[in-house]
Amino acid sequence: MKRLAKPNYDFGDVIDLCIDGIANTQSIKMRITTNKVNLLLDANLYDSAINQGVIYTYSPLIRFHDKMCIRSTKDDYEKLYTQYFVPTAKKTRVIYDEILTSAKGDCPFCGGIGDPTNLDHFLPKAEYPQFSIYPSNLVPSCRDCNMGAKKVGYAKSAEEQTIHPYLDKQIFFEEQWITADYIADSNLDQPGEFRYYVNAPSNWTDIDKARVEKYFDDFKLASRYAKQATSSLKSKLRSIKRELDRGSSIQEIIDDVIQPDIDGAPFVNYWEVGMCDALINYLHSEQRKIKNISLDFCV
Ligand SMILES: [Zn+2]
């Protein structure tokens, strides 16, 4: 889970640029122009509702501003995105690409496990068409995150709300809620495994705790983070072994080999932080055994 800066665009300008790309002969052009004021009003509510964790109260379509002709207006807004915002020939494509590259190759939902390949509608455009081209609702996402968790739709309760990478509460990004244990192989001649889990701060509300639990499950972070950690375990164990051979103490190994990775992590719930937590706990708890490990498997 990685914080991204909110895209810095004036929504009115984005709508105008999009309208500019519609031929005068298209009747959708007039309808969108007429509805611009409603789009701006809806968007005004979006950011604070996400930040306050109440976006789930926005019933899809029921809250929709144009109840008289929901279907046609919904179609207009979906088309606005697919036909007039995304195509490479349109001026708005620059905005699409800028938002995508703002992630710098790290999908914010899985915290950089995947590479963002497209923009995800945080509130799906099928249910919330009025946000189809609203930059705050367009979030870079890797394929796994987009096809997995985000496919399930939208929150119907406070607990179900996905954490929003641009707008959600700081605590989700600044306080650690993901950690892991390391379970060594019983024969100590094979690499062990990592078990990631949620350990939210005890002073959080029950709703916030439920949200991170759900988020962790939805995005399958336990298995995705464990896979990442396992792939870098051998090199970490090699460094530990080298220090043991030199006669370093467990505390010296933690300070010199593991703690620097925690300190250098790009954010607090990065997969590597959990891996380091797990190895530190393991080294502390198994001091006697570890001194006798051959660690042959990591040579
Ligand atoms: Zn992802």
Claim to verify: residue 109 and residue 23 sit in the same structural domain: yes
Q: Ligand 1 centroid to 73 CA: how many Å?
A: 31
Both tokens of residue 79? 């088309």
For the cut 90, the answer to whether the pLDDT of residue 209 exceeds it is yes
Q: Ligand 1 centroid to 149 CA: how many Å?
A: 10
Claim to verify: residue 62 and residue 132 sit in the same structural domain: yes
Instruction: Please tell me the predicted confidence (pLDDT) of residue 17.
Output: 96
CB 155 within 8 A of CB 55: yes
Q: Ligand 1 centroid to 190 CA: how many Å?
A: 30
Claim to verify: residue 128 and residue 251 sit in the same structural domain: no
Residue 3 located in a structural domain? no
Nearest alpha-carbon partner for 138 in 191, 86, 213: 86
Claim to verify: residue 187 and residue 128 sit in the same structural domain: no
pLDDT digits (tens, 9 = 90+) for 93-106: 999 999 999 999 99
Claim to verify: residue 138 and residue 78 sit in the same structural domain: yes
CA 101 to chain centroid: 15
CB 91 within 8 A of CB 17: yes
Residue 42 or residue 175, greater confidence: 175
Classify residue 229 as left (phi > 0), alpha (psi -120 to 50) or beta.
Answer: alpha
CB 203 within 8 A of CB 177: no
Residue 42 located in a structural domain? yes
CB 139 within 8 A of CB 7: no
Q: CA-to-CA distance for 183 and 195, rounded, in angstroms?
A: 8
Residue 147 located in a structural domain? no
CA 208 to chain centroid: 16
Taking all residues of the chain, what is their mean pLDDT, rounded to a whole number? 90
Q: Which of 100, 126, 142 is the last residue of a domain?
A: 142
Report which secondary-structure segment, H or E, holds 194.
strand 193-198
Q: Which of 122, 142, 162 is the last residue of a domain?
A: 142
CB 113 within 8 A of CB 273: no
**What range does the domain containing 287 cover?**
171-298
For the cut 80, the answer to whether the pLDDT of residue 292 exceeds it is no
Q: Ligand 1 centroid to 224 CA: how many Å?
A: 10
Claim to verify: residue 135 and residue 212 sit in the same structural domain: no
Q: Ligand 1 centroid to 221 CA: how many Å?
A: 10
Claim to verify: residue 23 and residue 114 sit in the same structural domain: yes
Q: Ligand 1 centroid to 109 CA: how many Å?
A: 5
pLDDT band at 299 (very low <50, low <70, confident <90, very high): very low
Claim to verify: residue 190 and residue 267 sit in the same structural domain: yes
Residue 1 located in a structural domain? no
Instruction: Please tell me the predicted confidence (pLDDT) of residue 184.
Output: 84
pLDDT digits (tens, 9 = 90+) for 26-72: 899 999 999 899 899 889 999 999 999 998 888 666 555 666 666 67
Q: Which of 121, 142, 163 is the last residue of a domain?
A: 142
Claim to verify: residue 120 and residue 23 sit in the same structural domain: yes
Q: Ligand 1 centroid to 4 CA: how many Å?
A: 13
Residue 69 located in a structural domain? yes
* Number of domains making up the chain: 2
Claim to verify: residue 241 and residue 124 sit in the same structural domain: no
CB 112 within 8 A of CB 269: no
